[in-house]
Amino acid sequence: MAVLKYSLIRLATFFLLFAACLLMGLGMIMGLIVGLIGSWAVGYLFFNRLRLEAGSQLARKVDSNSRRTSASEASDNEAEDALAEEYHRPGSEDSPPSPPPLSSR
């Protein structure tokens, strides 16, 4: 909910500043610049607690989505781990060749 509140505050601030610049005749480009910088400054200075809460809420959401693995993906990971362990076990047929000994000069 904090993300929605913070986004709406930023959008409202942007559109108010943008409309004010257009009404003053500053032009569309200058209105965009003033609106972007002004909405960032208002959000950073006056709604810092809400901004931090929204950021942590988004981080928790992204973190929880990245930890999900399906059953088939988990079994694939286990099979790959077993093959890698078998391949790298010393003395197995498929183990990689040992590097040649260093010659002394």
Residue 1 three-state SS: coil
- SS3 assignment, position 21: helix
74 is a domain residue:
no
Instruction: Inform me whether the pLDDT recorded for 23 exceeds 60.
Output: yes
Residue 53 lies in a domain: yes
Query: How many separate domains does the chain show?
Result: 1
Under a CB-based contact definition with an 8 Å cutoff, are residues 72 and 31 in contact?
no
Averaged pLDDT score across all residues of the chain: 84
Give tens-digit pLDDT for 54-75.
988 888 888 776 666 677 777 8
pLDDT band at 81; cut points 50, 70, 90 = confident
Distance CA 74, CA 70 (A): 6
CB 22 within 8 A of CB 70: no
Q: Is the pTM of this model over 0.85?
A: no
89 occurs within a structural domain = no
Domain assignment present for 95: no
pLDDT at 39 over 60: yes
